[in-house]
Chain A
Amino acid sequence: MNLQRTWLFGQFELTRLFATKRGWLAIAAFSLVWLMVLRYPIYNAVPFINSYEFSDIVGQIAGTIGLSALVSWPEAELAMFWIIGLFTFPMFAVFVTADQTVGDRNRGTLRFLTMRSTRLEILLGRFIGQVMILAALIALVTVATLIMLLYRDASLLTSAFAKSIAIWSKLLLTCLPFIALMSLLNLINNSARMSIVFAILFFTLIASVIGYVGAQYPILSWLNYIIPGHQIAELTGWQNTPLFSYALPACQTAILLGAAHVLLKGRDL
Chain B
Amino acid sequence: MSTVIEVKSLSKTFGTKRALDNVEFKIEKGSTVALVGPNGAGKTTLFSIVCGYLKPSSGTIDILGHQPGDASLFDKISALPQDAQLDPKFSVLQQLTFFAKLQGMSGKAALEDTKRVLTLVDLAHVANSKTSELSHGMRKRVCIAQALLGSPEIVLLDEATAGLDPKNAKAIRSLIASLQGDITFILSSHDLSELERLCDTVLYLEQGQLSSHQSDLHKTEQGSFVTLQMLNLDADMQDKISNLAGVRHIKQTQSDELVIEYTKQPQPFDLSLLALIHEHKWTYKQLVNGRTLENQLFVD
- The interface of chain A, by Cβ under 8 A from chain B, is 2, 5, 8, 12, 15-16, 19-20, 22, 103-104, 107-109, 111-118, 266, 268-269
**B74 contacts A268, C-beta separation under 8 Å:** no
Whether A12 pairs with B74 at a CB distance below 8 angstroms is: no
Q: A116 to B71: give the CA distance in the assembly, Å.
A: 8
CB of A112 within 8 A of CB of B55, answer: no
CB distance from A105 to the nearest CB of B (A): 10
Bound Cα distance A114, B50 (Å): 12
Contact in complex: B85, A22 (CB < 8 Å): no
Q: List 6 A-B contacts (CB under 8 A).
A: A12-B98, A107-B87, A109-B84, A109-B86, A112-B81, A115-B51
B238 CB-CB contact with A under 8 Å: no
Contact call A111/B79, Cβ cutoff below 8 A: yes
Is B102 an interface residue when CB atoms closer than 8 A count as contact?
Answer: yes
Question: Is B227 an interface residue, CB under 8 A from the partner?
Answer: no
Once A116-B74, A116-B102 are accepted as A-B contacts, the answer to whether A111 and B53 lie under 8 Å apart by CB is yes
CA distance A5 to B99 in the complex (A): 10
Given A15-B94, A268-B54, decide whether A112 and B89 contact each other with a Cβ distance below 8 A.
Answer: no
Chain B 196-211 against A: per-residue CB contact (8 Å), 1 yes, 0 no? 0000000000000000
Bound-state CA distance A16–B98 (Å) is 13
Bound-complex Cα distance A8 to B52 (A): 22
The smallest beta-carbon distance between B239 and chain A, in angstroms, is 55
Residues in A neighbouring B188, C-beta threshold 8 A? none
B78 close to chain A: CB less than 8 A: yes
Whether A104 contacts B71 in the complex (CB less than 8 A), given A111-B53, A114-B53, A115-B51, comes out as no
Q: Is the CB of B55 within 8 A of A268?
A: yes
1/0 per residue, CB under 8 A from A, across B265-276: the answer is 000000000000
Contact between chains at A108 and B81 (CB < 8 Å): yes
Q: List the B side residues contacting A5 at CB < 8 Å.
A: 102
Contacts of B90 in A (CB 8 A): 15-16, 20
A8 to chain B, nearest CB (A): 6
- Min CB distance A108 to B, Å, is 3
User: Please, which residue of chain A has its CB at the minimum distance from the CB of B149?
Assistant: A116
Q: Give the number of residues in B that approach A within 8 Å (Cβ atoms).
A: 28
A199–chain B nearest beta-carbon distance, Å = 23
Tell me if B89 and A20 are in contact (CB < 8 A).
yes
The chain A residue sitting closest to B90, CB to CB, is A20
CB distance from B7 to the nearest CB of A (A): 18
Asked whether, in the complex, the Cβ of B89 is within 8 Å of the Cβ of A16, the reply is yes
On B, residues with C-beta under 8 Å from A are 48, 51-55, 69, 71, 74, 77-79, 81, 83-87, 89-90, 94, 98-99, 101-103, 143, 146
CA distance A92 to B83 in the complex (A): 33
Chain A contacts for B143, CB-based, 8 A: 112
Chain A residue, CB-CB nearest to B45:
A268
The CA-CA distance from A159 to B74 in the complex, in Å, is 50
What residue in chain A is nearest B70 (Cβ atoms)?
Answer: A118
B84 — which chain A residues lie within 8 A by C-beta?
Answer: 107-109, 111-112
Give the residue name and chain of the A residue nearest to B52 (CB).
Answer: A114
With A and B bound together, what is the CA distance between A104 and B89 in angstroms?
Answer: 11
Q: Are B69 and A114 closer than 8 Å at their CB atoms?
A: yes
Supply 19 further A-B pairs (C-beta < 8 A) apart from A115-B78, A266-B55.
A2-B71, A5-B102, A8-B98, A15-B94, A19-B94, A20-B89, A104-B87, A107-B85, A107-B86, A109-B84, A109-B86, A111-B53, A111-B79, A112-B81, A112-B84, A112-B146, A114-B52, A115-B77, A268-B54
Assess A269 versus B53: contact at CB under 8 Å? Given A111-B79, A118-B71: yes
Q: Residue among B48, B52, B146 with the most chain A CB within 10 A?
A: B52
Residues of chain A lying within 8 A (CB to CB) of residue B146: 112
Name B74's closest neighbour in chain A (CB-CB): A116
* Chain A residues closer than 8 Å to B69, beta-carbon distance: 114, 118
A16 to chain B, nearest CB (A): 7
Contact at A117–B53, with CB atoms within 8 Å? no
Q: Which of A22, A109, A117 lies in contact with B74, CB distance below 8 A?
A: A117
Give the distance to chain A from B300, nearest Cβ to Cβ, in Å.
36
Distance in Å: Cβ of B106 to nearest Cβ of chain A: 11
Other-chain residue from B53, B81, B86 in contact with A268 (beta carbon distance below 8 A): B53
Nearest residue (CB) in A for B130 is A20
Question: Which of B55, B71, B83, B94 has the most chain A CB atoms closer than 10 A to its own CB?
Answer: B71
